[in-house]
A = this chain, B = another copy of it.
Amino acid sequence: MGSIEHENDNHVIDPIDPEEFRTQAHKVVDFIADYYKNIEQYPVLSQVYPGYLRKNIPEESAPNVPESLEQILQDVTRFVVPGITHWQHPNFYAYFSASKSTAAFLGEMLSSGFNVNGFNWLSSPAVTELEMLVVDWLGEMLKLPKSFLFSGSGGGVLQGTTCEAILCTLVGARDQKLREIGRDKFSKLVVYASDQTHMCLKKAAHVAGFGDENLRVIETTKSELYALSPNSLRIAIQSDIENGFIPFYLCATIGTTSTNAVDPLGPLTAVAQPHKIWVHVDAAYAGSACICPELRHFLNGVENVNSISLNTHKQFFSAPDCCCLWLKDPSALKNSLSTNPPYLRNAATDSGEVVDFKDWQITLSRRFHAIKLWVVMKSYGQENLRSFIRHHVEMAKLFEEMVKRDQRFELVAPRNFGMVCFRLSFWDVDMSNVMNARLLEEINKSGKAFMIHTVVKGVFVIRITIGGMMTKERHVVSTWKLVQELAEKVMVMEGI
């Protein structure tokens, strides 16, 4: 065998040489630090045209030979940066922030460095056990009942996004109900949501095999602040039962995407529980804010739901993607999502003593999300995390105050968290819609700030979400001045 033993690797480049890794990674750290330092020089919303990249990089093939890191970073600057909408820019106020922090970056580096795939306990026990720790820690910060924690009778899991959390709970609830009533009743099952529920519920229902006839979208009203009305829910359920349908799943939202409306968990679960409806709470954005005692009341009633999820990458400084899902009865998920092929069998799993998170999610592969959350919680501590959120809420209050003082504008929905919904106010709705669309276009075209709109009951609304990691009061104040100036400009242009 001696002849085989010669070293034959010399001609091959090392994909990971520790010292080359060190040198190059240091360069990229500096590149990113410089990007953050200079971020205010870029237009917040990318101003490129569709197809810009192909025009700049027409090559139809990857290069044959290596390019240097310097060359690559130059290309990043020339071709990528102009096409970036800068989510870390202090004047990024669109969607919900991709909440980030230095600690989250460090956590992602560690996750990327270890580069493990923690689908079951054995494949890296630390991935599973640290995840069990951090979801309990976060649950404790939120004052979730013990019934949702591993230290109690439930448990949590880190998924990528709320879309996955909703799909998993929907499938778990679906199968639980079908085991009870028989698979032939599939087409009779009904999912409930409000007309303000995030689109991911409809998408998940569709993926899980439901048609529009299985989805009840309950209308909300301005007078009820766009929250799901328990009474409307009761009527819808009653009507469905009379028509031979079988209610099985309700998605309630804490902080809707359009206006941050809050569905009342206590009264809704009181309606749902007699019908054994699985109640899931989508607290994607606003859930994290409930770590502040003064905001915790928005979660009142959570003790009666089956599951709740929030995106730690929206307001918990943890960078996409990282969604935390807690369940009172994780076995519903495991019954639907477990698989145990021979190549994943192992003594630890067979012992029943360990959690295999692959059975709590759609995919098999899973990143080491937990270390990111752990580093975030340890780096800042609970007090600072609450301060960060309060700071965002305070800045949103400030913006709200400034809107209130300008008679030309109005607030469209109450501000509950870090988001404000406002518009130029006109007597005529159509005109108002046109003018606000024009105003938003001017704001975004300016490159100085980026916001998006929503439409609530036919009304075009400008949304400003204040949650950027670099956003300070001066940015919020100057952004409001920009809005005022551009409103003036738009009104002059339209001859008003």
| Contact assessment for A151 and B60 in the assembled complex, using a CB-CB cutoff below 8 Å | yes
CB distance from A330 to the nearest CB of B (A): 17
B-side contacts of A363, CB under 8 Å: 160-161, 163-164, 200, 321
Q: Mark A23-58, 1 if CB is under 8 A from B, else 0.
A: 011101111111111000000011010111110010
Q: Mark A476-487, 1 if CB is under 8 A from B, else 0.
A: 010000000000
* Segment of A1-9, A408-416, A488-496 in the binding face: A1-9
B115, B126, B206, B209: the one contacting A320 at CB < 8 Å is B115
CB distance from A476 to the nearest CB of B (A): 9
Asked if A245 lies at the interface with its beta carbon under 8 angstroms from chain B, I say no
Q: A12-B391, A108-B112, A183-B211 are in contact. Are A381 and B469 (CB under 8 A)?
A: no
Asked if A19 lies at the interface with its beta carbon under 8 angstroms from chain B, I say yes
Closest to A9 in B: B472
Segment 50-92 of A: residues with Cβ below 8 Å from B:
50-54, 57, 60-67, 69, 71-72, 75-76, 79-88
| Contact assessment for B473 and A9 in the assembled complex, using a CB-CB cutoff below 8 Å | yes
Asked if A298 lies at the interface with its beta carbon under 8 angstroms from chain B, I say no
Asked if A22 lies at the interface with its beta carbon under 8 angstroms from chain B, I say yes
CB distance from A67 to the nearest CB of B (A): 5
Asked if A343 lies at the interface with its beta carbon under 8 angstroms from chain B, I say yes
B126, B208, B377, B463: the one contacting A343 at CB < 8 Å is B463
| Contact assessment for B117 and A95 in the assembled complex, using a CB-CB cutoff below 8 Å | yes
B-side contacts of A343, CB under 8 Å: 95, 257-258, 452-454, 463
* Segment of A135-143, A229-237, A262-270 in the binding face: A135-143
**CA separation between A208 and B167, bound complex, in Å?**
10
> What class of interface size applies to chain A in its complex with B?
35 or more
**CA separation between A432 and B384, bound complex, in Å?**
59
| Contact assessment for B28 and A33 in the assembled complex, using a CB-CB cutoff below 8 Å | no
| Contact assessment for A339 and B384 in the assembled complex, using a CB-CB cutoff below 8 Å | no
CB distance from A175 to the nearest CB of B (A): 8
B-side contacts of A319, CB under 8 Å: 112, 115
B-side contacts of A311, CB under 8 Å: 365
Asked if A431 lies at the interface with its beta carbon under 8 angstroms from chain B, I say no
Asked if A222 lies at the interface with its beta carbon under 8 angstroms from chain B, I say no
**CA separation between A345 and B452, bound complex, in Å?**
9
B57, B115, B187: the one contacting A133 at CB < 8 Å is B57
Asked if A114 lies at the interface with its beta carbon under 8 angstroms from chain B, I say yes
CB distance from A32 to the nearest CB of B (A): 4
| Contact assessment for B25 and A33 in the assembled complex, using a CB-CB cutoff below 8 Å | yes
B126, B366, B377, B405: the one contacting A46 at CB < 8 Å is B126
12 of the cross-chain contacts (CB-CB < 8 Å) are A1-B405, A12-B391, A16-B469, A20-B102, A25-B29, A61-B140, A64-B383, A83-B129, A95-B123, A313-B365, A321-B363, A342-B455
